[in-house]
Chains A and B, each alone.
Chain A
Amino acid sequence: MNSKLQDILMKYLMPIANRVEQQKHLQAIKDGMIAVIPVIIIGSISLLPTAIMNLLGSGPVYDFLAKYINVFTYAGMFSNDMLSIYAALFIAVALAKSYGICNNQTGATAVLVHLILSGVSIEGGLSIAYLGASGLFTSIVSAILSVEITRIMMKKKLFIRLPDSVPSMVGESFATLVPLIVNVFVAVVIANVSLALSGQVFPAFIMSVLAPAITTMDTLPALLIVIFLTQLLWFFGLHGPSITSAVWASFAIAYGAENMANYAAGLPVTHIFTFGLYYNILQVTGSGLTLGLVLLMMRSKAKSLKSIGTVSIVPSLFGINEPVIFGAPIILNPFMFIPFVFGPLVITVITYVAMSSGLVGMPIANPPGFLPPGVGAFLMTLDWKCVVLVFVCLIIMTLIYYPFFKAMEADELKKEQQA
């Protein structure tokens, strides 16, 4: 079984995983989007007073918060509402680093290009309507465009060359100036062509092009595909989310940011598939929701399972389950294939139905990662029912693991007796 499965792994999955890993743009988008999470957490914190007001409804604390709400939520305007600026910067830096051309101009160039593409000039100022969640996909374009223009110009040596007698620092400042001018020129052209031809600002154009993908990713079938592929990759020992998030990270971040913006504005929250949902419910205690399995292993009569269960429990509580995945092992283990790969699909259906039916609140904030089960779910929704949902999911997964665990344990005990 093992060697045959490993052959399949080598033949099909490794090259795919390898190709995704080496695709510089996808990696830069993923890394940049993940790098922006701390800024989203700041946005989430500044949302808390609004959320507390909504929970209370009235009273002295409510009145106090209401009086100073603009102060409490001040940071939100500059974090969540301008998220795409930070995303453009982080994606550009990640991409430039992978090309080995990152310098202190990289981030600034990308931000400048992004502002030209996304800032909407209005009477007496600038509208930030497209600098938040709805500008996130444009930030991908801004970052890649600015880094690629710069890279091509450097490669073709299209910069001003000064005589050798000029000090090198002077030469360098000129060398970065020309790509910057070209970047700005291209951005201004794109922004104005978009206005002239489609009558829309560039981010609105991007959003209308991506509209089908944006609607599709936040559906149950899309979530099921994401979770299935993630679990399958893990089953073969490859880091599932690290590979699949190259595709879904941008969407999940954009959905989360839009939910937060809507919540802050008192509008209905509509998206289910956010980063917080993924790590705090769908993969709580690690991919495959393995907490119950770890507890079963800790109580096992088989020595090897017991020892892995013991070393796995604490990391599991913080969402790190590599010890149990590689130790049990779950990878390439015929007993674990069905519960590990298909169990999380059941959890996904339950979670999706619970949220879309309104039984459990949708994500309104993005909590920090690596929190114990239930804590992140509460911070994300401020709904106690969501905490119940997490524990229901963990119990259901334990029941799904149980018969397969028993079979694995019997097999392990037999091996231990023979030894």
Chain B
Amino acid sequence: MNDLSSPSHAAHIDLDKTDQAIIDLLRQDGRMPYRAIARALDVAENTVRARVRRMEESGTMRVVAVTDIEAAGYDMLLAIGVQVEGRSPEAVARELAAIAEVFSVNLVVGAQDIEILVVAQDQAALNKLISDKLGAIPGVRRLTPALALEVLKNQPDWVPFHAA
């Protein structure tokens, strides 16, 4: 992902080089022992422990399990543009976000009002999801879907925590 940790952002988040180095190591192996991190960065183990705790408690970083969507039982992934009519896009987006299969929701500007990423177990489940759930939300005028035939890369390292 593009590097957003430029100086102009430092004031807002206040991550120093050590914090960033810890995050980089934990991205590669979320269960790397504190002692091994300390050794790799040449700092005290207590420092690593305190830094991780501070970043977790401030809601800046989390160490989590990401499950492959196919292993989770979903064989289809789609990117769907949503056009909204007669209702605020934000209200529609909040309703979309409440649906488990809709795993990403982003308000956008342009031809679409909302961009979502959704998963479905199979074609029948997808059909139901689109007509009965997404299409039935008040304010949803039109859904413009694209099916992912192959995902070559997917590293959602930067995400909002509040709705996940």
Partners in one complex: no
Which residues of A are interface residues toward B (Cβ below 8 A)? none
Which residues of B are interface residues toward A (Cβ below 8 A)? none
